Structure 1
Amino acid sequence: MPAAPRPRGRPRLAPDAQASRRALLRAGLAQLTERGYVAVRLEDIVSAAGVTKGAFYHHFRSKADYGAVVIAEYDAFFRARIAQSLGRADLSPLARIRDFARNAEAGMARFSFSRGCLIGNLGQEMASLPEDYRDMLIAVLEGWQRMTADCLRDAQSVGEIDATHDPDSLAAFFWTGWEGAVLRAKLERNPAPLRQFADSFLRLISSERSPS
């Protein structure tokens, strides 16, 4: 009797293998957002994940390969966080951006501001990272910018911001400033930089701001 044909595509991981891969990715998100890529050793990752080096190399060819997967996982996680706030139909568009900022602040506070943004952290280390990370990090930031620009276009459509503003440029400005605010909040272990930037950004672009 002929053997049954093998299913196409990537082999499905056994439950134990799935669990070890998830543990490694969780450990990477925690370690890299807190300490950065260069400072974290493979030994730190497997120890935090509670797995062996053999398990690590079962899933990833190298630390560089692992880091690329962690970037993709973080992007998916953070896109969902952005969409959760910017997709709220019960809030006006600018209130959605404020909601994102407050939720992000709460996320940093949960870890006593010891963890920053993985993408911002890696961007600061780029001189010591695999060169192909550069395009990956830029693509992640541009994706977040597009989501924000769509929200700002909604704000224009309801008159919250002036029609002369360029939503794409404003979104790029927001993420450049926001990443700096996250860096300073982590440095100071304080939410004030996040609040100052978000409040100032929204006040500056709002059509209802008070005249000087």
Structure 2
Amino acid sequence: MSKREIKKEAILVAGMEVMKAQGYNGCSVKDIVDAAKVPKGSFYNYFPSKEQFALDAIEFTASEARTHAQALLGDCSECALDRLTRFFHAGIACAESSEFKVGCFLGNMCQEMADSSDSIRQRLDPILNGKTRLIADVIKEGQEGGSVNAAIDAAVAAEFLFNAWEGALMRAKAAKSRKALDAFVAMLKHVL
């Protein structure tokens, strides 16, 4: 990684924390550069706009989330249902570690920006679809292995689970409690 790429990533990571906590509209470029401890001009050397910063933050988050999901969901030493349960328990631990203040960055961006930025909406949709496909693939494996009900449509079940998870994250954030997330995991076995 070049010095330029390292500097850009440092600004991105620091600024993402601000955007995660305050939302896109709740943070300014000044908030981002203050968090990164760089002059405002440095921001524009790497990002032509706040919207481009958000797009890069979405891509960065999606890449990390994809790597994490593949590690948990791709571990074929466990049955599919156990992998899915472990995946969502890891999500609960992450939400709990932020005291339920952050939720899912991608979901938050979707809620906040999908109606006001076509660029952000168009970038988020395939990423969220990709996460859903990962879940569908594990459901299909579970159906083939007998740990998941073969009578359900794997794609529809994955869509339902992913959307229910995002809703549970939103409720956990509102309640500052893991109750909605625990309810989601409790229902996981019944759905599948």
TM-score scaled by structure 2?
0.94
Counterparts of 1:103 and 1:127, CA distance in 2: 27
Aligned pair partner of 1:179 in 163, 166, 169: 166
Q: Which residue of 2 aligns with 1:91?
A: 78
Counterparts of 1:196 and 1:38, CA distance in 2: 31
Please list every run of 5 or more consecutive structure 1 residues that lacks an aligned counterpart in the other structure.
1-11, 206-212
Quote the offset at 1:201 in angstroms.
Answer: 2.5
Aligned pair partner of 2:132 in 145, 154, 165: 145
Counterparts of 1:95 and 1:109, CA distance in 2: 21
1:63-102 equivalences under 5 Å are 63-102=50-89
Quote the offset at 1:132 in angstroms.
Answer: 1.7
Counterparts of 1:29 and 1:56, CA distance in 2: 13
Does the 8 Å contact 1:149/1:168 carry over to 2? yes
Q: CA-atom RMSD, angstroms?
A: 1.5
Bigger mean CA deviation after superposition, 126-135 or 176-185? 126-135
Please list every run of 5 or more consecutive structure 2 residues that lacks an aligned counterpart in the other structure.
none
Q: Where has structure 1 moved over 4 Å in runs of 4 or more? A: none
1:35 aligns with 2:15: no
Larger % of helix: which?
A: 2
Does the 8 Å contact 1:34/1:114 carry over to 2? yes
Counterparts of 2:142 and 2:179, CA distance in 1: 25
Does the 8 Å contact 1:182/1:194 carry over to 2? yes
Does the 8 Å contact 1:20/1:51 carry over to 2? no
Counterparts of 1:144 and 1:121, CA distance in 2: 15
Counterparts of 1:135 and 1:157, CA distance in 2: 34
- Length, aligned pairs only: 192
Who wins on radius of gyration, i.e. which is larger?
1
Q: Secondary structure of 1:73's partner? A: helix
1:169 aligns with 2:156: yes
Q: Percent identity among equivalent residues? A: 30
Matched residue type, 2:73:
L
Aligned pair partner of 1:201 in 174, 188, 191: 188
TM-score scaled by structure 1?
0.85
Aligned CA distance change for structure 1 residues 19 and 115 (closer, same or farther; 3 Å) = same
Quote the offset at 1:127 in angstroms.
Answer: 5.6
